[in-house]
Amino acid sequence: SAVISQKPSRDICQRGTSLTIQCQVDSQVTMMFWYRQQPGQSLTLIATANQGSEATYESGFVIDKFPISRPNLTFSTLTVSNMSPEDSSIYLCSVRTPGEQYFGPGTRLTVT
Amino acid sequence: AQSVTQLGSHVSVSEGALVLLRCNYSSSVPPYLFWYVQYPNQGLQLLLKYTTGATLVKGINGFEAEFKKSETSFHLTKPSAHMSDAAEYFCAVSAAAGSARQLTFGSGTQLTVLP
């Protein structure tokens, strides 16, 4: 199994600023993912972050807006840059083990 | 390409009644299918999954789901609802093989359990 923690759990930010979300896993994992869950909607994959390589972004998401770091096998960060109210969402970190995919508790972001 | 359709964004049942949450999928390759539950202010927790083998899958908290290939469905059921089952439920599909195997989620069903 894998236990995932995220910081911060929630934040309220002003338009035009940036927020970095941290994801810590209690075991070493190769595949780590970042998802966005907009209000009342399902989860959308932002990017896949594998240690030792550049993050792979899904259609509609770009590195300039959502830069990701993956310095080791237990940690990753997602930055939401130049925020607008449309970025208000829950951002979830996720990891895949051979048997299952686990999700963090999420970071609830409100942009005013 | 894969997609998931969850019929009914909101479902209400009485405590003790049958819970039925519907999920239909589309996949061009053999699928893996999942049900996740999300309690308020928490992350997603895996309820159950189908990979291969028996098509009736039992999960945690008394939930089960049946993979029906002919109907491309993976409906979630529980014989008797409990107040603690109130949460949002997500059906998801991934490819059975391949390095990508990304999860594609449905839009979610909010389950309300009435006393």
DSSP assignment of A5-50 equals: EEE-SEEEE-TT--EEEEEEESS--SEEEEEEE-TTS-EEEEEEEE
- State residue B101's pLDDT score: 63
Identify the DSSP state of B97.
Answer: S
Which residues in A lie closer than 8 A to residue B37 (C-beta atoms)? none
Q: Is there a contact between B105 and A4 if contact means CB atoms under 8 Å apart?
A: no
CB contact (8 A) between residue B90 and residue A42 = yes
pLDDT in tens for each of the 112 residues of chain A? 789 999 999 999 999 999 999 999 999 998 899 999 998 788 999 999 988 888 999 999 999 999 999 999 999 999 999 999 999 999 999 998 876 788 999 999 999 9
How far CA B83 is from CA of B12, B14, B64, in Å, comes to 11, 9, 18
Alpha carbons B10 and B38: distance in angstroms, whole number: 14
Instruction: Quote the tokens at residue B13.
Output: 């049942």
Residue with tokens 């599909």: B93
